[in-house]
Amino acid sequence: MDEELNIIAFGPGKKTLRIAPDLDPWVREELVTCLQANLSFFAWSAQELTGTTPDVVEHWLNILSNARPVKLEKRQFGPEKYKVKKFKRGPDCEKAFGELKKYLPELPVLAKPVAEIRYSGLEKLSLALMMMARRLRPYFLSHTIVVLTNSPLGRILTHSDMSGHLVNWTTELGEYDIQYEPRTAIKAQALADILAENVHRENEDPWKVYVDGSSSKDGSGVGVVLISPAGEEVKLAVRLEFRASNNETKYEAVLAGLRAARNVGATRVLVFFDSQLVAQQMEGIYDVKDEKLIEYAQEMDRVREKFTEAAFEQIHRKENERADTLAKMTGTMGI
């Protein structure tokens, strides 16, 4: 140990300290000067360790009062314990570190189990209604919600003998005014009457068609709001059964709106949407380069030819909230 470290003597009493021998001369000089100027801070014996006054803090050991003290033998360490080891990163370390950096971004992602796959059909319907209420909470609070379903969902949620998830979901849905009504089939004559009432001449005002598309990790959907010249509204929500990008859903929404308008007998339409990209591509400002979008643009041209007049207008997103709500609802909830 004495061979590894240099012994420096300080002041009277031959007080010594050991410092490393490989210090630079100027560092060694400053260190020795600092130690000499602050010798009073060092405790050179156990008697000089006065400790902390009990007025500040006091610690009592939880030991037996009749326990006898035991003196432990001094542990002897070999000379290698006192040697200062310097670590140098060699080629092997650099290689291992590089492999670690490549491995970290590729760590497997652990996904939590999807408990919903074990739900029954009624539980899935209840979960869908609850998730919709959470997403559209302002609408649920300010309006009476009518749920059209042929399942006994209403009786199940209002039944007192429930357990598990249904109890929590029923409690959460209890703050809303929700009514459950059965789905009724539209008779052929009623559909014919609607079509007959909405047949328009070429000199009449065009139908207004508001469209929007939505794409998320849960799915994709489009929303359409048709407004006749008389002010009657027809709402349409379509879920896309394939994975679509956000731009693809915008084109799907326009096509769905045009086809819906054609089905109700409209010959003149004014289509409103909030997609700037679609608007500029339709006006020829931007070229359509994506292969899928090229197919959408060609199909849109074919559908437009079926109308006497088909105009398109880009509007602000706030003016298209109803179509946007329908698209998001179908895309996320799968209805």
Pick the closest to residue 20 from 11, 28, 12 (CA basis): 28
Domain boundaries, the chain: 1-40, 119-181, 188-333
The radius of gyration of the chain's CA atoms, rounded to the nearest angstrom, is 40
Residue position matching structure tokens 């061979």: 3
**Would you write out the chain's pLDDT as a tens digit for each of its 335 residues?**
445 677 777 766 667 778 888 888 888 888 888 887 877 777 777 677 777 677 767 777 777 778 787 887 877 766 666 666 666 677 887 888 888 777 777 666 555 445 455 666 667 777 888 888 888 888 888 888 888 877 666 766 666 455 566 777 777 888 888 887 876 655 555 555 555 555 544 456 889 999 888 888 878 888 889 888 888 888 888 888 778 888 888 888 888 888 888 888 888 889 898 888 777 777 767 677 777 888 888 888 888 888 888 888 888 888 888 888 888 877 665 44
- Residue 251 sits at φ, ψ, to 5 deg, of -65, -40
Give this prediction's pTM.
Answer: 0.42
| CATH number attached to the domain at 188-333 | 3.30.420.10
183-221 as b/e, with b when 16 or more CB fall inside 10 Å?
A: eeeeeeeeeeeeeeebebeeeeebbbbbbbbbbeeebbb
